[in-house]
Chain A
Amino acid sequence: MNREALKGHLDLLILSVLADGPLHGYAVIDELRTRSGEVFDLAEGTVYPVLHRLEVAGHLSSEWGEVGGRRRRSYRLTRAGSARLEQQRASWQLFSASVNTVLRRKPWPSTP
């Protein structure tokens, strides 16, 4: 999939992935790739600015832990993030349904 097209929807996708529970950055990308059937394949490092921006905005919070001797930061949705996710999801569904309607529309006068 076109990476530029994907970037515009990263906020929604990341919030959606984190709605199921806390994840660290690698797991977020892994989940995105798996859920999309390997279609969403972006430069992995570009996910971190999005995660950090969502955290600064208060939509995510993060915690540090240690795994295998390494420090690991995991992110989880805040209440504000959940509200943002629902808002963006509704907006996307409306947009998506509208685009589909336009694409399915037959030229007038339509033939049976």
Chain B
Amino acid sequence: MAEYPLNLTNAEYPLIRRYLLAVDPVIRHRTDAQDLLDELADHLIEAVERLRASGVDSDSAERRSLSRFGDPDLIASLINSVPAKGHAMHTIFSREASFFAFVAAVLWTAAAVSLPFAQDNLIASWTQGAYVTAIVLISAAIAASGIVLLSLNVQVTGAFDAVAGIVATLLVLALLAAFLFGWFLFGWLGLLIAATAVTMSRARASAVGVGAPTVLLGYVWPTFTLLVLVAAIFVTGPTPLLGSPAIVVFDVVALPLVLLGYAAGNVLLGQRMRALTPHAPAPDDAGRGPFITA
């Protein structure tokens, strides 16, 4: 990356440098200030080089390019009127995130269906085969959702930053907790709530997270799930009343609803991500790559 504000020597493009230094104070506070300056510099230098190539001398080329670009105060204020956005970092995660969101939704739905069968409601004890099935489905669903959440973090901030690292840690712990101690709902569900809430709070201002996905996954689902977990303390407390209607309702209705809610959230996220996914390059782009320089 160029040195801030820009690695241009006076000898190269003195007027462009002066122009960028005039823009700089207006946008300096932004997290994407360097990106903006680099983008404007690229434009102006290309304009100058084209004029030079057509025989215009350097000084005239710079003056004409800057004149065509517009007043620096006006352009800076116009650019500043659009909020900074984390530029998408197109990793394989972000490209395939919508696919994983739909996979996660299917897995959560399957887990919700399998969960009531995993517990014998009459004796409230885990039965081996059904338990393993439910735990494997839940673990796979956490893994798929984890990819979606991490990809969302990367898309929103443009980088795998420290918070994304914390989210990743929470998700790995949730996955391990579900696989090893699936019966301990507070463990994996608590970790999943934390990872989801942190991610959606970051995504709520972005095109991906704004609206329904944030409302469901950022507010409604965590609240409902926490209420269910708190209810679980009373339902399955130190001396649970085995086979009681409360336990049956908890196992057959409340817990599956929690998982189905998360599945619905993944569907909403998947739809939004799919709508925002860039088109694949057209066949005639294959040879020249995504950047057109001519």
Cβ < 8 Å to A, chain B residues 115-155: none
Q: Is the CB of B81 within 8 A of A72?
A: no
Provide the residues of chain B in CB contact with A52, threshold 8 Å: 79, 82, 85
Q: Is the CB of B39 within 8 A of A73?
A: yes
In the docked arrangement, what's the CA distance between A74 and B83, Å? 19
Residue B113 interfacial (CB < 8 Å): no
Q: Is the CB of A78 within 8 A of B43?
A: no
Question: B191-199, B212-220, B275-283: which one contacts chain A?
Answer: B275-283
Least CB distance, B257 to chain A, in whole angstroms: 31
Provide the residues of chain B in CB contact with A65, threshold 8 Å: 289-291
A55-B290 contact in complex given A25-B43, A77-B278, A79-B277, C-beta closer than 8 Å: no
A80-B275 contact in complex given A21-B281, A67-B293, C-beta closer than 8 Å: yes
Provide the residues of chain A in CB contact with B293, threshold 8 Å: 67-68
In the docked arrangement, what's the CA distance between A72 and B277, Å? 20
Provide the residues of chain B in CB contact with A77, threshold 8 Å: 278-279
Which bracket fits the contact residues of A? Answer: 35 or more
Interface contacts (Cβ under 8 Å), in number, total 131
Q: Is the CB of A45 within 8 A of B292?
A: no
Q: Which of B38, B46, B83, B276 is within 8 Å of A71, CB to CB?
A: B38
Q: Is the CB of B42 within 8 A of A24?
A: yes
Residue A39 interfacial (CB < 8 Å): no
B75-103 Cβ-contact flags toward A at 8 Å (1 or 0): 10011011101011010000000000000
Least CB distance, B156 to chain A, in whole angstroms: 12
In the docked arrangement, what's the CA distance between A21 and B281, Å? 7
Residue A5 interfacial (CB < 8 Å): no
Q: Which of B1, B40, B82, B285 is within 8 Å of A22, CB to CB?
A: B285
A26-B70 contact in complex given A48-B79, A64-B87, A67-B291, C-beta closer than 8 Å: no
In the docked arrangement, what's the CA distance between A68 and B50, Å? 13
Least CB distance, B283 to chain A, in whole angstroms: 11
Residue A97 interfacial (CB < 8 Å): no
Q: Which residue of A lies closest to B65 (CB)?
A: A44
Q: Which of B41, B71, B82, B87 is within 8 Å of A70, CB to CB?
A: B41
Residue A9 interfacial (CB < 8 Å): no
A37-62 Cβ-contact flags toward B at 8 Å (1 or 0): 00000011110110011011110011
Provide the residues of chain A in CB contact with B42, threshold 8 Å: 24-26, 67, 70-73
Least CB distance, A49 to chain B, in whole angstroms: 4
Q: Which residue of B lies closest to A67 (CB)?
A: B293
Provide the residues of chain A in CB contact with B41, threshold 8 Å: 70
Residue B69 interfacial (CB < 8 Å): yes
Residue B29 interfacial (CB < 8 Å): no
Q: Which residue of B lies closest to A20 (CB)?
A: B282
List residues of chain B with CB under 8 Å of any chain A CB.
1-2, 35-36, 38-43, 45-47, 68-71, 74-75, 78-79, 81-83, 85, 87-88, 90, 207-208, 274-279, 281-282, 284-285, 289-293
Further 5 A-B residue pairs, CB within 8 A, beyond A58-B207, A64-B35: A25-B42, A43-B70, A45-B69, A48-B78, A61-B278
Question: What 7 A-B pairs come out closest when comparing CB atoms?
Answer: A58-B207, A43-B70, A45-B75, A45-B70, A52-B82, A49-B78, A71-B38
